Amino acid sequence: MSRNQIDLKFPKAGVFIIPVIIFLLIFISKSTETISSGEAGVLYKTFGGGVAVDEPPMGEGFHFVLPWNKVYVYEVRQQELFEQMQVLSSNGLEIKLEASAWYHPQVEKLGLLHREKGESYLDRVIKPAIRSAARSVVGRYTPEQLYSSKRDVIQDEIYAETKKILDKQYIQLNEVLVRDVELPPTIKDAIERKLKQEQEALEYEFRIAKAKKEAERQKIDAEGKAAANKILSASLTDKILQEKGIEATLKLSQSSNSKVIVVGSGKNGLPIILGDQ
């Protein structure tokens, strides 16, 4: 075989091999899917009934997929939705509410979520659910209740009502946090004045109660002292007083201080003690 014949055959073989290699590269690239951490994949079978709801979602890692099928990748880690809403209180006043929701898809039902809600399930399901729950819950309370003691209560109620909706939509709701409740400025000022007046009234009542207790204590103390003196006076007879006087005289006579003791010269026969002056 001559050199010219070899040169003529080689281009023909190259023209055949190169398309095969390109086809294989395209086939391999279309037949693989890599699922990252915190994600899961839903398989769509073009010639096999659509979304594979009966198969578990694809987990993290490398997967082979037939090139005519497709994989839809969802984030399954906890995500946060921040919402600012305008809602009405029980008396029809407009309230601005800021809330956050922590959620993630129910992984085992990811195929159903994709088939029924689609990739935009956040806008189609979660946002309408939390807005509806917030309107329902806030509408039960007055602005005074929302401003003061009911924030934790409405937070729990919004969570409970939203979760009731999302559990049926293949979404796991973990928490709802009410970050701020903003009232109209005039209503807020009126509530703050009212709360201040109530606080001052409570302080005044406390001072009155404290003064009454102190007066009662002093009365009881005085009555106790009077009763004790009455008992003591009734028990002090002349003989007891004389005996106490003699005991005191004996103690004083033993003192080194100069003194003159006249025995029996005082009232009731008690001694008189004269100093050096």
**Residue extents of the structural domains in the chain:** 3-75, 80-183, 238-275
pLDDT for 6 = 47
Q: Is 223 helix (H, G, I), strand (E, B) or coil?
A: helix
pLDDT block averages, 10 residues each, the chain of length 277: 49 63 62 88 90 91 88 95 91 90 95 94 96 93 79 91 95 94 75 67 76 82 78 66 68 62 53 54
pLDDT for 276 = 53
Strand extents, DSSP E, 111-226: 171-182
Number of C-beta neighbours around residue 206 at 10 A: 10
Residue 264: CB partners within 8 Å, gap ≥ 6? 270, 271
| 105, 172 Cβ separation under 8 angstroms | yes
Tell which residue, 214, 212, 207, 151, has the closest CA to residue 199: 207
Residues β-bridged to residue 91: none
Residue indicated by tokens 């909706």: 165
| 39, 63 Cβ separation under 8 angstroms | no
Question: In angstroms, what CA-CA distances link 127 with 17, 70, 103, 176?
Answer: 55, 28, 11, 12
80-183 belongs to CATH 3.20.20.70 = no
pLDDT for 65 = 86
pLDDT for 130 = 96
Give the burial string for 185-197 (b: 16+ CB within 10 Å, else e). Answer: eebeeebeeeeee
